[in-house]
Chains A and B, each alone.
Chain A
């Protein structure tokens, strides 16, 4: 199931916030590997540093020390613009909440990502968006505005937005937190399908134990330290 070489390696990550007396270290010496074609789940209680770790792995935040190597490139050595281009080319994100423009339709929100991000032509963007909407069962809902969609539909649009450009990595922060399990399971299955069918590296942060059966690797983070992990048998 996993390729021999990790697509993303995190080595000895430390990260703190604040300064002086208010300085708080959120991550202590975290190292892990993520693999293409796999779903990795990071579990842990609130405040354990899961989201900070996601930000470091995806290049949204720089570590105080340690390094992140993605596809053989050291993210820490990239300029801000280089990191942005790396994310544009390789990363999809799903955040808590749907974060969709309420008055734009799913079709428009997805086309915006392609047209603004990759400079895709209108015709090509329409074709790819149509295919994505159909795949997610939203073909008939693509012309409603986001505020007319149900929570599950909104989250599927958010997933489509993350996976539309067929990224190497997809980072999902609590993707099921605002959904019932019927919709939540659908979301996890979609992410797992992206890993299986396209070889994407999926990294999910959450504390919903119902996701665990869909994950290939499960990590536990407590007080900023990796406490244990469950990996597939060799």
Chain B
């Protein structure tokens, strides 16, 4: 399209696009820098989102509309026990259709092969209508989990837990547990999740042996899911508890890890670094491209053409460079994301991440164009007279 001039007679492309197309070698570094920036940003945020989604998986895969916890709870893993009798407070609210208790605590998994591993024990009701039970649990698993000491774990955690599969046994705080099923895609970032019944959880967790009438969370389902916010409003009359919709608590858990751990800060830093690298390379390339045509621009200035026309062309070039860079990056991001998910890493690439990442990358390209405008200050017709 660009290299065959005869074709361009009928298809009038903007000069900015013509120059990029016909001087590809000159603009390629900028396009690749933009592509690199878009890839790094979107992929690493995809990795972060994937990691964070693991942290809130027990919440996301529950059937509860509202999670009730101790006051000011920061994340799923940082709850404090609350009296089980508070369930009556919740159940008495007009919006509530069903409530239940939910246990969550760290535990020590003693491997049959020796050594131990920190695990995260989840104790829930198991019935078909149970709110806390993971949606992944099969009816067969639910039935088998009713046996005292029965647990299910994620298949990818077997080696970490020192076991080989269903039927193997281990100990949690000295209590014998037996693996009755394997989950898939429930791998934890911290200790492996160990899912069991409320009864088994109370049996193996010392915290709830000491406080047999306490629970970690209360879960509620509303008659109408849209009434969840209303229920939360009503529960505000109890200052010693906090209540969140499922989505709010999920986000709260993820945000806590994002903001309070070095992982989030590190990721933000790397993203900023990628933007900076993209900015510098793109801006320098556009600057150099404009500087290489200073004499041609100077003739146009002498002929009375306004400087803003040339500035608009540099900005248009930065737009095209941004667009081509994003176009180059997209298939790479999809491929790498798919490869990462295939290899067991969790990478989430929602549409809004693409929209946000690409908008940020395009903004970076346009800022590069603005920075490159300084080269136009050098355009002076008088320099053409020797």
Q: Which A residues are closer than 8 A to B by beta carbons?
A: 51-52, 54-55, 58, 60-61, 84-89, 91-93, 95-97, 99-101, 103-105, 107-108, 112-113, 116-117, 122, 143-145, 161-162, 165, 173-174
B147 beta carbon closer than 8 Å to chain A:
no
Known: A60-B302, A103-B18. Contact between A93 and B8, CB under 8 A?
Answer: no
In the complex, A99→B382 CA distance in Å?
14
17 interchain pairs (CB within 8 A)? A51-B385, A60-B382, A84-B301, A91-B303, A93-B302, A93-B303, A97-B384, A99-B296, A104-B15, A108-B8, A108-B15, A112-B300, A113-B305, A117-B300, A144-B5, A145-B22, A174-B386
Contacts of A97 in B (CB 8 A): 295, 384
Closest 3 CB pairs between A and B? A88-B304, A103-B22, A87-B304
Q: In the complex, A100→B298 CA distance in Å? A: 11
State whether the Cβ of B328 lies closer than 8 Å to any Cβ in chain A: no
Minimum CB–CB distance from B287 to chain A (whole Å) comes to 17
Could you say which residues of chain B place their CB within 8 Å of the CB of A92? 303
- With A99-B298, A100-B296, A144-B5 in contact, is A89–B304 under 8 Å at CB? yes
**B309 CB contacts on chain A under 8 angstroms:** 116
For residue B16, give the distance in angstroms from its CB to the closest CB of chain A: 11
| Cβ of B226 under 8 Å from chain A | no
A104 x B306 contact (CB < 8 A): no
Q: What are the residues of chain B within 8 A of A116 when measuring CB–CB?
A: 300, 305-306, 309
Residue pair B8, A96 in contact (C-beta under 8 Å): no
Residues of A within 8 A of B12 (CB): 122
Contact of A96 among B18, B23, B298, B386 (CB under 8 A): B386
Query: Separation in Å of the A129 CB from the closest CB of chain B?
Result: 11
Q: Complex Cα distance A52/B385, Å?
A: 8
Chain B residue numbers with a CB within 8 Å of A108 are 8, 15, 18
Question: Are B304 and A84 in contact, with the CB atoms below 8 A?
Answer: yes
The answer for the CA separation of A165 and B299 in the assembled complex, in Å, is: 14
B93: interface (CB < 8 Å):
no
Are B19's CB and A104's CB within 8 A?
yes
A173 touching B384, Cβ below 8 Å: yes
B89 interface residue (CB < 8 Å to A): no
Q: Are A95 and B304 in contact (CB under 8 A)?
A: no
Residues of B within 8 A of A107 (CB): 9
Main secondary structure on B side of the interface with A? helix
Instruction: Give per-residue flags for B295-326: 1 if the beta carbon is below 8 A from chain A beta carbons, else 0.
Output: 11011111111100100000000000000000
Taking CB atoms, residues of chain A closer than 8 Å to B301 are 84
Q: A52-B385, A96-B384, A116-B309 are in contact. Are A105 and B304 (CB under 8 A)?
A: no
Known: A99-B295, A144-B5. A117 touches B382 (CB 8 A): no
Q: Bound complex: CA of A145 vs CA of B2, how far in Å?
A: 11
Shortest Cβ gap from B309 to chain A (Å): 5
C-alpha gap A100/B299 in the complex (Å): 9
Known: A108-B15, A145-B22. A113 touches B303 (CB 8 A): yes
A151 to chain B, nearest CB (A): 16
| Interface contact B5-A145, CB-CB below 8 Å | yes
**A104 and B18 contact, Cβ closer than 8 Å, known pairs A113-B303, A116-B305:** yes
For the complex, count residues of B whose C-beta is within 8 A of A: 28
| A104 CA to B293 CA, complexed, in Å | 12
* B19-A101 in contact (CB<8A): yes
Question: Whose C-beta in chain A lies nearest to the C-beta of B304?
Answer: A88
- Sample of 12 further A-B pairs with CB below 8 A, known A99-B296, A113-B303, A117-B303: A55-B385, A58-B302, A89-B304, A92-B303, A93-B381, A95-B302, A99-B295, A113-B305, A122-B12, A165-B303, A173-B385, A173-B386
Shortest B159–chain A CB gap in Å is 59
Complex CA gap A174/B296 in Å reads: 17
**Is B6 located at the chain interface by the 8 A CB criterion?**
yes
* Contact residues of B between 269 and 309, Cβ < 8 Å to A: 293, 295-296, 298-306, 309
Q: Contact at A87–B385, with CB atoms within 8 Å? A: no
> Contacts of A87 on B, CB cut-off 8 Å?
302-304
> Nearest B residue to A89 by beta-carbon distance?
B304
- With a cutoff of 8 Å between Cβ atoms, the chain A residues found around residue B381 in the complex are 60, 93
- The CA of A47 and the CA of B382, in the complex, are separated in Å by 15
Chain B residues 1-60 with CB under 8 Å of chain A are 5-6, 8-9, 12, 15, 18-19, 22-23
Nearest B residue (CB) for A177: B386
Which residue of B is nearest A158, CB measured? Answer: B299
Q: Give chain A residues whose Cβ lies under 8 Å from the Cβ of B298.
A: 99
Contacts of A165 in B (CB 8 A): 303
* CB pair A161 B303 closer than 8 Å: yes
Chain B nearest Cβ from A101, distance in angstroms = 5
Shortest distance between the CB of A64 and any CB in chain B (Å): 15
How far is the CB of A140 from the nearest CB of chain B, in Å? 12
Assembly CA distance A39 to B306 (angstroms): 29
- B23: A residues at CB distance < 8 A: 103
The residue among B19, B295, B385 with the most chain A CB atoms within 10 A of its own CB is B385
CA distance A90 to B366 in the complex (A): 35
Q: Which residue of B lies closest to A92 (CB)?
A: B303
Pairwise interchain contact A54-B385, C-beta atoms closer than 8 A:
yes
Minimum CB–CB distance for B136 against chain A, Å: 59
- Could you give, for residues 73-100 of chain B, a 1 whenever the CB lies within 8 Å of some chain A CB and a 0 otherwise? 0000000000000000000000000000
> A86 — which chain B residues lie within 8 A by C-beta?
304
Select which of B6, B15, B22, B300 is within 8 A of A143 by beta carbon: B6
